[in-house]
Amino acid sequence: KQWYQRRVRGHKAGAHVQLGQHDTALGIYDEEIVTQARTGESFPLSDASSLLMRIRADGVGTGGREKELVPLWSQHRSSFTSLFYDGHVAFTSAMVGDVEGVEELGRNMQGYIGNKNRTGWNKDATEQFGPDLVTGCQEMARGDYEKAAAALARSVPGLI
């Protein structure tokens, strides 16, 4: 039940973003979403990261809220688990300009791709879309949004 309630809150906040009600979405983030993210678990962290990224993509500031998520994500950065979770780590690092963090993730991703024991959809998606996702996040972290947009445009449509 708790997992479902968290998911509904995240989607509710996302709906407010879609409607242009960013302050309402940030209120839901502050009151509900970030509390779960502070546990350090990947799924709540991904909800928090994606909401902040959507708000920023609309050109709206988040008041630096993403800075709190970086150390929480850092415990997950030493190995590559999945393009979904590690992609969230990458763009959270990118939002705060942490080029080194994104580069570490890129190295871990290359190790994951090179592991012949890995198979299946996640491996295939990572090989196909992961390098451009990481490159886009690296450029975003560096502040080169034109290059970031070009790289992300090659990766994101294949992932959603």
Quick: pLDDT tens for 44-101. 899 999 999 999 999 999 999 999 999 998 888 777 888 888 999 998 999 999 999 9
Convert 79-118 into a string of H (helix), E (strand) and C (coil): CCCCHHHHHHHHHHHHHCCCHHHHHHHHHHHHHHHHCCCC
Total-model pTM = 0.86
| 131, burial (CB in 10 Å: exposed 0-12, middle 13-18, buried 19+) | middle
pLDDT tens profile 90-113? 989 999 999 999 999 999 999 999
Looking at the chain, the whole-number percentage of residues with pLDDT higher than 90 is 72
